Chains A and B, each alone.
Chain A
C-alpha cells in the first residue's frame, strides 16, 4: 500500500509541477510600463507584398526605437484563426497581431473585451483620415461585435477587390473586344460560346461562385442594400432584387453556357490554374491572384472592373489589433503607424499588393499601378461591398452549397435563395441576441 501512495504522490506532484510551469511563462523581462520588448505576430508569407513591407516596417521600428527588442513570430493563418481567443486571453499573447477582419473574428474578440480600443489613437495619428469609410467598416465594431460603427479595434493597411481577369490572346484570337458595359460583356461571352469556348471560369466548391453571384447582385444594389445585408440595418428580402437578380442571372449564365456546368466540384485553384494555362478567357476573382498571374502566366492578360457596377466585392485586408493584455501598447501603436507611412505603403504596391493609401506615382510597374488605381477608384467612391459570406459565421459553406446547386442545375434560383436565406436569418438573429 505504501508503494501505491508513493505513486499517487509522485503523479500529483508531477501534474502540479507541470501546471505551475505552464502558468509561469517567460515574461519576467517585460515591465508593465516602459516596455523594452514588442511581441509581433503576423501570418503573411516572407515574399508576399505584405511580408516584404512589414519586414521593412520592423526595420524602421528598430531604428526609431533603439533599445527595444522586436520579438517577431510568423504564424500560420489557421493557427491564429482558430486559437486567437485563447491566446490573447492568456499572458502569452503578442502586443500587436494581424487578425481576420469581420464580425465572427475581430468583432467577437472586441465584444469580449479582448482587444484594445484604438479610437483615440486613430484620431491622434490620422488613421481615420487615411482610410475611406468603406475601409473603416472592418476597423470599427459596436458593443455587439458588429462591424461598421462603434470604436476602432483594428487598423487595415492593405486592401483587396474583385475584378474580371481576361486573356488578351484568347480575346484577339476569337475577335472579341474588351467589354466596357454589362451588355458588351454578355455579347463577348456569346461570341465565345458560339465558337465552342466556355467564356467564364469559376469554381463551385469554393468562393468564386459566390463572389460571381454577389457581383451580379451588386449590379442592382446600392449602399443601403450593402448596409442591410452586411450590417443588419434592415431585414433583407432574398426573393427581391438585388439578390433575386443575382441568382436568376447566375442560373441564366449557366444555361447559356457562359459558365461551365462541370465546375460544381472545382476549387478556386482549379479555376486559377485553368486561367493561367490559357484554357479560360475570363475569370471573376480577387486581387490576390494578381501577383501569381504576373509571375506564372505566359499568355498576355489584363483586368477590368466588373462592367457597369458601382459596387464591387472587396474590403480592407486583415487588420492589426492590439490585445487588451498587451504590455507594450504604445510601441504597438507606433508600429501600426509605421505600416501606414507612404514608403511602406509603396512597398506593398511595388510587390503586387494593394496598399490602402499609396501614391500611384510611386508605383513603378504599370500593371501594379493599374491594380492600385482601380482600387483607389473603388475605395474613394465608397464602392467596396465586402464579401457575400461575411454576414454570419459559417455562411461560406451555405453559399458554396447553394451555388453548386445552381451550377449543376439541381436547384432553381428560388430554391437556392430559400436555402441561403434561412441560415442568414438564423445567424443574424443569433448575432443580435448577443
Chain B
C-alpha cells in the first residue's frame, strides 16, 4: 500500500487544500484490487458481448467470413412471430419463477420461522427448509428429465390419476400445446420455491425476536405480524430474490431444453432456447446473435429498473 499512502500524503499536502484531488488519488488504490476482476470481465463477458453485438449485424454460418448486413437481423426479428411468442412465454416464466415462488416463499419462510421454528424444535424447521431447497441442489437437466418421465403419457402423474379413479383427467401434458406451458410452469415453481424460502429465512434470523414477542403480547395475530414485521423487515432480500429470479426467468434454458425443446409448436419456446436453436441448429449465427443481444439489453434494463426501485425504497425507509 506504499504507493497509495504516498498519493494520499501528496493529496493532504495540496497547497490549495482542495479535497477533490485527494479523493481521486485515494480511489486509485481501489482500482488495483478491481483489476483482476476487470480483466476477467473483459475477457469472459465484455469481449464476447461486443463480438455478439457485432455478429448481430452480420449474416454468418459460423465458418468463413461474416457478411455485414446492418440492421437486417433486427428488422427480421420484428416480423418473427416465434420471437414474439418466446417473449410472451417469458412472461409466463416470470410468473412461475418469480411471482409465485416469491409470494409462496415469503409465506412459507414466515410460517417456518415464526410458527414451526418456535413451536417445534428448530431441527424441524431446518429439515423442512432443506426439503424445500432440495430441487435447487439437483442439476436442472436431471430435474427436467425426471419431470419428463412423470409427465409423459404413460408417466407417474397419469398413473396416479388412473389409480385414484381420475383416469378421465389423464393427458399428454407436455405434448399438448394447451397444457405444455402450464406443465413447464409447474415444474419451474417446484424448482424455484426453495431459493426464496432459504433467503427469507436467513433474513428473518436478523430480525429482533423482541419485535415478534412484543407484537404477540399486544395481541397481533400471525397475519398481522407477517404484514407489520416480516414484510418490511426483509424487504431488501425481497428485492434481491425478485431481481435474481427475474434474470433467471428471462434467460431460462436448461429446463426447456430437457423437457420440451421449445415445443410443441413453440408453445414453450423462450428467447434463450430460440437463440440457441437459431445459432447452433439453423447455423444463422448473425440472427441468433441479434436475439441474444436483444435479450441481454432487456435483462440489463430490467436489472437497472430493479436496482433503482430498490434504492428508492431504501431512501424512503431511511427518511421515514
Interface size for A (C-beta < 8 A) is 43
Using A1-B3, A2-B3, A7-B32 as known contacts, say yes or no to A397 and B263 having CB atoms under 8 A apart: yes
Closest to A403 in B: B264
A405 x B265 contact (CB < 8 A): yes
Complex Cα gap A265–B3 (Å): 65
B153–A266 CB distance below 8 A? yes
CB distance from B226 to the nearest CB of A (A): 40
For A19-55 the 0/1 string (1 means CB < 8 A from B) is 0000000000000000000000000000000000000
Q: Please judge, given known A-B contacts A104-B283, A108-B283, A264-B175, whether A401 and B264 are in contact too, CB under 8 Å.
A: yes
Among B47-55, B245-253, B273-281, the one that faces the other chain is B273-281
Bound Cα distance A104, B284 (Å): 11
Q: Flag if B266 contacts A401 (CB, 8 Å).
A: yes
Among residues 254 to 305 in chain A, which have CB atoms less than 8 Å away from a CB atom of chain B?
260-266, 270
Q: Are B63 and A408 in contact, with the CB atoms below 8 A?
A: no
Least CB distance from A283 to B in Å reads 16
Do B61 and A108 touch (CB < 8 A)?
yes
8 Å CB contacts to A: which residues of B8-55?
32, 35, 39
The residue in chain A whose Cβ has the minimal distance to the Cβ of B158 is A262
Contact (Cβ within 8 A) B32 A408? no
Residues of B within 8 A of A82 (CB): 280
| B87 CB to nearest chain A CB (Å) | 18
Residues of A near B178 (CB, < 8 A) are 410
Q: Are B281 and A393 in contact (CB under 8 A)?
A: yes
Contact with B along A386-421 (1 / 0, CB 8 A): 000000111011001110110110110000000100
Contact between chains at B152 and A270 (CB < 8 Å)? yes
Which of A112, A265, A407 interacts with B174 by CB under 8 Å? A265
Q: Mark B239-267, 1 if CB is under 8 A from A, else 0.
A: 00000000000000000000011111110
- Contact, CB under 8 Å: B63 / A265: no
B281 touches A265 (CB 8 A): no
The residue that A85 contacts in the complex, of B62, B151, B175, B264, with Cβ under 8 A, is: B62
Per the bound structure, the CA–CA distance linking A396 and B281 in Å amounts to: 9
User: Quick one: which of A1, A2, A89, A205 contacts B263, CB cutoff 8 A?
Assistant: A205
Residues of B in contact, count (CB < 8 Å):
35
Interface string of B280-319 (1 = CB under 8 A from A): 1111100000000000000000000000000000000000
A114 to B282, CA, bound (A): 20
A204 with B266: CB separation less than 8 A: no
Beta-carbon contact of A262 and B266 below 8 Å:
no
Q: Determine whether the beta carbon of A397 is less than 8 Å from that of B281.
A: yes
- Asked whether B265 lies within 8 Å of A262 as measured between CB atoms, the reply is no
Q: Are A404 and B277 in contact (CB under 8 A)?
A: no
| CB-based contact A408/B262 at 8 Å | no
Inter-subunit contact A404/B264 (CB<8 Å): yes
A85 and B284 contact, CB distance less than 8 A: no
Judge whether A394 and B172 touch: CB under 8 Å. no
Q: Which of A82, A261, A397, A405 has the most CB of B within 10 A?
A: A397
B165 beta carbon closer than 8 Å to chain A: no
A430 interface residue per 8 A CB criterion:
yes
Is A109 an interface position by the 8 A CB rule?
Answer: yes
Contact B3 A262 (CB under 8 A): no
Q: Taking the complex as formed, is B83 at the interface, i.e. its CB lies under 8 A from any CB of chain A? A: no
Determine which of B2, B173, B175, B262 lies in contact with A204 in the assembled complex, contact meaning CB atoms within 8 Å.
B175
Instruction: Determine if B64 is an interface residue (Cβ-Cβ < 8 Å).
Output: yes
Taking CB atoms, residues of chain A closer than 8 Å to B174 are: 205, 265
A264 with B264, Cβ < 8 A, contacts A7-B35, A397-B277, A410-B176 known: yes
> What is the bound-complex CA distance between A111 and B173, given in angstroms?
43
Residues of B within 8 A of A89 (CB): 63
CB distance from A92 to the nearest CB of B (A): 16
> Which residues of chain A (97-149) have a CB below 8 Å from chain B?
104, 108-109, 111-112, 114
A404 to chain B, nearest CB (A): 4
Q: Which residue of A lies closest to B61 (CB)?
A: A108
Of B39, B152, B284, which is within 8 A of A265 by CB? B152
User: Can you name the residue of chain A whose Cβ is closest to the Cβ of B278?
Assistant: A394
In-complex Cβ contact of A401 among B32, B61, B265, B284 (8 A): B265
Known A112-B64, A404-B264, A408-B172; contact A393-B283, beta-carbon cutoff 8 A: yes
Interface residues of A (CB under 8 A from B): 1-4, 7-8, 11, 82, 85, 89, 104, 108-109, 111-112, 114, 204-205, 260-266, 270, 392-394, 396-397, 400-402, 404-405, 407-408, 410-411, 419, 427, 430
Q: What are 27 inter-chain pairs, A to B, with CB distance below 8 A?
A: A2-B3, A3-B3, A3-B32, A11-B35, A11-B39, A82-B280, A108-B283, A112-B63, A114-B63, A205-B261, A205-B264, A262-B154, A262-B172, A262-B175, A264-B175, A264-B176, A264-B264, A270-B152, A394-B278, A394-B282, A401-B266, A402-B265, A404-B263, A404-B264, A410-B177, A410-B178, A430-B284
* 8 A-B pairs with the lowest CB-CB distances in the bound complex, closest first: A264-B175, A265-B175, A394-B282, A262-B153, A404-B264, A85-B63, A394-B281, A265-B174
List the interface of chain B (C-beta within 8 A of A).
2-3, 32, 35, 39, 61-64, 151-154, 172-178, 180, 260-266, 277-278, 280-284
Q: Given contacts A1-B3, A85-B63, A427-B282, list 5 more A-B pairs with CB under 8 A.
A: A2-B3, A4-B3, A393-B283, A401-B266, A410-B178
